[in-house]
Amino acid sequence: MKTAVIVFPGSNCDRDLAVALELITGSKPEMVWHRETELPDGIDFVGVPGGFSYGDYLRSGAMAARSPVMRAVKDAAGRGVPVIGICNGFQVLTEAGMLPGALMRNARLSFVCRPVPLRVENSQSLFTAGYDAGEAISLPVAHHDGNYQADAETLDRLEGEGRVAFRYLDKVNGSARDIAGVLNDSGNVLGLMPHPERVVEAAHGGTDGRRLFEGLLETVA
Amino acid sequence: MKARVFITLKNGVLDPQGKAIHHALEGLGFSGVNDVRAGKLIELDLAEGTSDTEIEDMCRKLLANTVIENFRIERMETA
């Protein structure tokens, strides 16, 4: 599987994601700078990493979503290439209109940095095939703006279409219906606030993130 | 020519920052505050003749996130 990781000024989880992808796919991902207008040929998977792209200016993810490379990412997603947005990457994908809703300041205004229990709501997607539906897993979060909000109609639609991929099992950031990760309508774009790439080896204190990438590798390859 | 863009959270969208400000005001002894909503003000210095439609386009494409925010444009008299 040929993978790419997008790098914005202020990304800081790009290398973590690259290490995780290399570990699981066996080959180094292409690191693609935000000014690029095209993705390398034959990319099977795109990761939009966490961090503080453009210093979170205006709104988290707002600037990155309008950068040249995101047009290429949007085109790739339109062709069915799986795209994952983790943490700031999730904010970027919502700002780019590739996922519904918005991520606002955490309800208690504090930066939340800890492992959180989650439930896998949908195990049928490209990204969650490695899990069982209803399974409880633990992934770390580290964010200030993870409070997922959308209007009631959108939330109902997401739930009805099985597009809520992950849900928090405790109160983390005030997200509507405790939503931690959502899929687009074609199911090939996932955005989530928790960091699966940070728990892929036993030395990380957990391996629950590993199955996300393994499941993806199996379904894509 | 200058214009101001006021960006506010839509009604019904929870505003954690507004809530915290409200709480702090009460802590300072201001008891008559019913609610606080925090927003943003963006000042644009524009070429003469920039149309309203163009400014609205800027708001929709970047300045506001219309999923959660409303915007209002106010043209300023040139000094």
What domains are defined for chain A?
Answer: 3-220 (3.40.50.880)
pLDDT tens per residue, range A109-145: 899 999 999 999 999 999 999 999 999 999 999 999 9
- In b/e form, how buried is each residue of B33-55, taking b as 16+ CB within 10 angstroms? eeebeebeebebeeeeeeeeeeb
pLDDT score of B78: 64
| Residue of A105, A110, A157, A158 for testing the chain B interface, max B β-carbons within 10 Å | A105
What is the mean predicted confidence (pLDDT) over B12-38? 92
Q: How many Å lie between the alpha carbon of B37 and the closest alpha carbon of chain A?
A: 14
SS3 category, A22: helix
Of B16, B61, B63, the CB nearest to A106: B16
What is the mean predicted confidence (pLDDT) over A26-48? 97
Closest CA to A118 of A154, A170, A70: A170
pLDDT score of A27: 95
Instruction: Give the total number of structural domains in chain B.
Output: 1
Q: Which residues pair with A192 in a beta bridge?
A: A86, A181
For residues A24 and A200, the answer to whether their CB atoms sit within 8 Å is yes
Residue A80 has pLDDT above 80, yes or no: yes
What is the rounded average pLDDT for all residues in chain B? 93
What is the rounded average pLDDT for all residues in chain A? 96
> CB A94 to CB B14 under 8 A?
no
Q: Which residues of A have a catalytic role annotated?
A: 87, 195, 197
Rounded Cα gap, residues A136 and A64, in angstroms: 32
Q: What is the ipTM of this complex?
A: 0.84
Torsions phi, psi for B24 (to 5 deg): -65, -40
- In b/e form, how buried is each residue of A101-125, taking b as 16+ CB within 10 angstroms? bbbbbbbeeeebeebbebbbbbbeb
DSSP string, A96-115: TTSSSSEEE--TT-S-EEEE
Instruction: Please list every residue in chain A whose beta carbon sits closer than 8 Å to the beta carbon of residue B8.
Output: none
Residue B77 has pLDDT above 80, yes or no: no
| Residue of B42, B44, B63, B68 for testing the chain A interface, max A β-carbons within 10 Å | B68
Which strand (E) or helix (H) includes residue B58?
Answer: helix B52-58
> CB B68 to CB A102 under 8 A?
yes
Residue A148 has pLDDT above 70, yes or no: yes
Q: In this prediction, what percent of chain B has a pLDDT beyond 70?
A: 97
What is the extent of the structural domain holding B70?
Answer: 2-76
Helices and strands (DSSP H and E) totals, chain B: 2, 3
pLDDT score of B3: 96
pLDDT score of B79: 54
Ordered alpha helix ranges (H), A57-191: 62-65, 68-78, 88-95, 152-160
What is the mean predicted confidence (pLDDT) over B50-73? 96
Query: Is B65 an interface residue toward A (CB < 8 Å)?
Result: yes
Residue A49 has pLDDT above 90, yes or no: yes
What is the mean predicted confidence (pLDDT) over A174-194? 97
Query: Is B24 an interface residue toward A (CB < 8 Å)?
Result: no
Residue A90 has pLDDT above 90, yes or no: yes
Instruction: Please list every residue in chain A whose beta carbon sits closer than 8 Å to the beta carbon of residue B13.
Output: 104, 149
Amino acid found at B70: N
What is the residue whose two structure tokens read 């219906």?
A: A177
Q: How many CA atoms lie within 13 A of B5 on its CB side?
A: 22
Q: How many Å lie between the alpha carbon of B16 and the closest alpha carbon of chain A?
A: 5
- Residue B64: left if φ>0, alpha if ψ -120 to 50, beta else—which one? beta
CATH number of the domain to which B16 belongs: 3.30.1280.10
pLDDT score of A220: 84
Q: What is the pTM of this model?
A: 0.94
